[in-house]
Structure 1
Amino acid sequence: MSELLGIVCLILISALFAMSEIAIAAARKIKLKIMMDEGHHGAEQVLKLQAHPGAFFAMVQIALNAIAILGGILGEQALTESVSYYVSLVYQGPLLDKISFAVSFLTITSLFILFADLLPKRIAMLMPEAVAVRVVTLMNAITTAFKPLVLFFNGVTNLVLKIFGFPTERKDEVTTEEIVAIMDAGAKSGSLQAQEYQLIGNVLELECRTLPMAMTTRESIVFLDLEDDSDTINQKILNNPHNQFLVCDGHLDKLLGFVDTKQLLKQLLRGEAVHLNEQIIEKEVFYLPETLTLSEALNAFKSASEQFAVVVNEYALIVGIVTIKDLMSSFMGDLVTFHGEEQIVQRDSESWLVDGATPMVDLCRVLGWEDVPEVNQYETVAGFLIYRLKRLPKRADHIICDGYKFEAIDIEGVRVEQLLVSRYKEGGAEFTL
């Protein structure tokens, strides 16, 4: 009976070590930090243990191996005679001792596998943080008690790792991929709402998107010419009710500054003819290079406290204008809808009308298209079409790629204004017309 009780105690102790090992290894750093902020002292200890796990794992392996050896010894003593008695009731041949030993071995091994390994590890995997914060203090105490053995085995392990060029310490770095995986899991479980999921995803993409994906392009910029008369200025403001207008001398590349429409309104209220003069033109224009990411652009706006910026290329030519509203819209997406600004309009379940300037990442999100070929070679849907055609498209030109047909349906000059994107139903073989 004492030997059986000893086996039960060994199984329970082995289960504790197995559970502790899995729980501390599987505990998520982000959740532990949240628990630490909420006042869980054990969470801080687990984080420290995860940062330097060598001594802990050495102690666990020493304990588990010692328990396994003791379990085998006690098991043979406790069960062999009893098993031999019951086996002898049906068999008394020369193999009686070997059969009894085999049955005893399988019984003890099965008990340890089930109750000392599988069950505790499954429990630890289901709630690793909760288990880890409860056992970490005890594990630290046992590690200290076995310090001489732990130092020896841990030192040998570190030496072997260094010989083969492996790191000896764990580096916890939360990557974008891990955050996306957590978001996906939260969205599937329902703990993360669809709007929250979309917003966080857009924010993470700010480092991947550049200014051309959010700006008003050069050909769409409405500016005031220094030589414009009152009627021309009034008409431009009526047709394009912006807060500020660029002021140029003849053409866009001779930029003089910008004017606030409030200044022109004051002229109108005083009964004067609306006109441009040096007093109302602000010459300090905020410039941004087109190579900036949207995240970098937001930081630049924050530092400059400006409402809009003129975007220039490497040759100092103006390629567009970007405003705070443009940047906010880039990651707010469908959460904030502005009249007349929809870039992707779904016609039916199989086709979409797409503005040529639509960022390719936005279209891919709508289509659920993940493996886009050579995505670093273009930014917009029009750019994708041009890249695949290897020339400027004409009306009705199209390509078929990965089961989708991209057809240019509205061309203005060399600009692709609108495309029709539809599912290709004949297998999606890729070719170009």
Structure 2
Amino acid sequence: MNVVSAMPQPIPPSPFPWFDLVIIIALVALNGVFAMSELAIVSARRARMEAMARAGRRGARTAMELAADPGKFLSTVQIGITLISILSGAYSGASLGGPVGERLVLIGVSAESAPEIGFGLVIAVTTFASLIIGELVPKQFALRAPEPIAAMMAVPMLWLSRLTAPLVWLLDRTSALIFHILGLDRETENHVTAEELHLIVAEASSAGVIEESERAIISGVVRLADRPVREVMTPRTEVEWIDINADPDAIRALIAEMPHSRMPVADGSVDEIIGVIHSRDLVRILVNGGPIDLRAIMLKGIFIPDHVDAMDALKALREAEVPMAFIHDEYGHFEGLVAPANLLAAIAGEFASDQDEDTDPPLVEREDGSWLVSGTLAADTMADRLGMSLPEDRDFATVAGFALWRLKHLPTTGESFSHKGWRFEIVDMDGRRIDKLLATPVKAGN
């Protein structure tokens, strides 16, 4: 009688620890909460948080307090993230590695290598989940809406920082000691430079958040403090003035042609500016038929040096009796005047006037891509339009000054020079004054 031996039956796997899996998922999610809270509170804009606090948003003021003391807050977050990472890594391998290995045996993996493969597979999946769910996705949420998330998570983070205060204090003091040994200052001032602000505005314009016209105005405001008053003033050669000694007939003729609401008053020469008059005061005298006495209605003007910037000029105009300032160089020579209209034009661009019917625009684009540029145009306005840079330490204000800086001599009609991919040709001279230039883009290889 033959005895057939029975095949050994495979040992059924132990029950899968679903409860342990839930704990690991919860730890990974909690790691994401810490990462999201950290980035949201650190990157939240203080101005918006203050607005939320004034509106009564719960947690906004707490978020600002946490951001004001980043050492303690970041230590609290780091404690939580580190503990969670250790627990999830160790717990996942210990509790899930064996059960996963048993199930790998059922699909053909050798019993000898299954435990190691199961352990490695669990660690790999846990690490991947920690990166995606515990770091990348939460941080993307924090970047999308930092202020609301900061306000929502500030109170729990505050309570956690209080619970871990002793350990946080130790970590904070230790990091402070290391910075002291290295000779570094932990408190860094976060200043936004003008260049960064220009980039932010340009990106906002490219993304369609603001219109191109709005971008130009914002850039004009930001650039105002960097522009010397000589770049925005009305130059001496274009100043219209009235002589204090003019006879009544000459004054009446001047009033009939006066395009401005205010007029500088000089004593015989534009170099001898002594004050300002309002055109309405002259009109009132003429209407009433009284004697014209310019000294009686003249107001005192203000005089500022040519090296101040446009923002300083704006401040001076706001404090003056009449908003018109006269610009003089270090030798006392009159160079021009600045009024609110000059500053507005520097921000928003030149305005059309019925007095400009016979005046050519200062910057005209031609069909071939070249530009006809007025010599009196502000140099940085030309540079912005042509997309080129100028030296920051330049001592010229206009396109004519730019040409003189490049040529090093008084040019004649037809002379040319190149700068930053553009060829500039002097096309019109008005005596010794550069009146018009032609800017042509230089093609590569030419």
Q: Which of the five TM-score ranges fits, normalised by the shorter chain?
A: 0.7 to 0.9
- Give the superposition deviation at 1:354: 1.6
Tell me which moved more, 245-254 or 350-359: 245-254
| 1:431 alignment counterpart | none
In 2, distance between residues paired with 1:14 and 1:415? 70
Correspondence 1:85 to 2:111: no
- The residue that corresponds to 1:166 in the other structure is 184
1:337 lines up with 2:356 in the alignment: no
Shift of the 419–208 alpha-carbon distance from structure 1 to 2, 3 Å rule, reads: same
Partners of 2:274 and 2:171 in 1: CA distance: 74
CA distance in 2, matches of 1:93, 1:271: 118
Partner of 1:300: 316
State the one-letter code of the partner of 1:285.
G
Contact 1:3 1:77 in 2 (8 A): no
| Preserved CA contact (<8 Å) 2:262 2:276 | yes
Aligned to 1:185: 203
Partners of 1:35 and 1:192 lie apart in 2 by 24
- Relative to structure 1, the CA distance from residue 141 to residue 227 in structure 2 (aligned partners, 3 Å threshold; closer, same or farther) is closer
Q: Distance in 2 between matches of 1:28 and 1:258?
A: 47
Report the counterpart of residue 231 of structure 2 in structure 1. 213
Q: Which structure 2 residues correspond to residues 219-230 of structure 1 after superposition, within 5 A?
A: 219-225=237-243, 228-229=246-247
CA distance in 2, matches of 1:331, 1:318: 24
Which secondary structure state, in structure 2, belongs to the residue aligned with residue 287 of structure 1? strand
Q: Secondary structure at the match of 1:252?
A: coil
Q: Distance in 2 between matches of 1:42 and 1:250?
A: 69
Q: Tell me, what secondary structure is at the counterpart of 1:41? A: coil
Match of residue 12, structure 1, among 16, 29, 32: 29
Task: Give the 5 Å matches for 1:201-350.
Answer: 201-225=219-243, 228-229=246-247, 232-238=250-256, 240-261=258-279, 265=283, 279-280=295-296, 282=298, 284-333=300-349, 336-339=351-354, 340=356, 342-348=361-367, 350=369
- Match of 2:167, SS state, is helix
2:366 partner amino acid: R
Query: Equivalent residue for 1:397?
Result: 415
User: Any idea what SS the aligned residue of 1:364 has?
Assistant: helix
Q: Distance in 1 between matches of 2:211 and 2:109?
A: 67
Give aligned pairs, total.
Answer: 424
Change (3 A) 1:425 1:204: same
Percent identity for Structure 1 against Structure 2? 29
CA distance in 1, matches of 2:169, 2:201: 40
Q: Which residue of 1 aligns with 2:383?
A: 364
Alignment of 1:129-148 (within 5 A): 129-148=147-166
Structure 1 residues 412 and 92: CA distance shift in structure 2, 3 A: same
AA partner of residue 51 (structure 2): I
Whether the 8 Å CA contact 1:286–1:309 is kept in 2: the answer is yes
2-structure distance, mates of 1:109, 1:262:
80
Specify whether residues 411 and 111 from structure 1 end up closer, same or farther in structure 2 by C-alpha distance, changes over 3 A only.
same
2:70 matches 1:53: yes
Q: Distance in 2 between matches of 1:73 and 1:40?
A: 40
Contact 2:317 2:339 in 1 (8 A): no
Q: Is the 8 A contact 1:7 1:75 kept in 2?
A: yes
Distance 2:43 2:240 in 1: 57
In the TM superposition, residue 214 of structure 1 has moved relative to its aligned partner by 1.9
Deviation at 1:224, TM superposition (A): 3.8
Shift of the 222–181 alpha-carbon distance from structure 1 to 2, 3 Å rule, reads closer
Which position in structure 1 is the counterpart of 2:12?
none
- For 1:16, give the aligned amino acid: V
What does the per-residue CA deviation read over 1:98-129, in whole Å, with 9 as the maximum and x for residues that have no partner?
33332232232223222222222222222222
Alpha-carbon contact 2:415-2:426 (below 8 Å) kept: yes
Which residue of 431, 437, 442 corresponds with 1:419?
A: 437
Identify if the C-alpha distance between structure 1 residues 18 and 271 changes in structure 2 by more than 3 Å, giving closer, same or farther. closer
Instruction: After TM superposition, give the deviation of residue 257 of structure 1 in Å.
Output: 4.2
Segment of structure 1 superposing worse, 114-123 or 90-99: 90-99
* Contact preservation (8 Å) 1:59, 1:150: yes
CA contact (8 A) 1:158 1:168 kept: yes
How far is the alpha carbon of 1:155 from its aligned partner? 1.0
Contact in 1 for aligned 2:102/2:115 (Cα 8 Å): no
TM-score (norm 1): 0.87
- CA shift, 1:94, in A, is 4.5
Given that residues 404 and 423 in structure 1 are in contact (C-alpha distance below 8 angstroms), is that contact kept between their aligned partners in structure 2?
Answer: yes
Whole-angstrom distance in 2 between the partners of 1:262 and 1:105: 86
TM-score by length of 2: 0.85
Residues 33 and 263 of structure 1: CA distance in aligned 2, closer, same or farther (over 3 Å): closer
RMSD: 2.8
Larger radius of gyration: 2
Query: Aligned in 2, Cα 1:106/1:260: closer, same or farther, shift over 3 Å?
Result: closer
Which residue matches 2:3?
none
Unaligned runs of 5+ in 1: 429-433
> C-alpha distance in 1, partners of 2:233/2:125?
72
Query: Which amino acid is the alignment partner of residue 108 of structure 1?
Result: T
Among 124, 130, 139, the alignment partner of 1:121 is 139
1:150 offset after TM fit, Å? 0.7
Output the CA distance in 2 between the equivalents of 1:356 and 1:151.
Answer: 65
Sort the Cα spacing of 1:241 and 1:108 in 2 relative to 1 into closer, same or farther, 3 A: closer
Q: Distance in 2 between matches of 1:121 and 1:242?
A: 58
- Asked if structure 2 preserves the Cα contact closer than 8 Å seen for 1:406 and 1:421, the reply is yes
Deviation string 1:243-296 (CA, Å, 9 cap, x unpaired) is 444444443334454555556556655779x97x57547373321221221111
Q: 1:180 to 1:254 in 2, by over 3 A?
A: closer
Q: 1:98 aligns with which of 116, 120, 123?
A: 116
Structure 1 residue 24: Cα displacement: 1.7
CA distance in 2 between partners of 1:263 and 1:68 (Å): 80
Find the residue that maps to 2:366 and give its secondary structure: strand
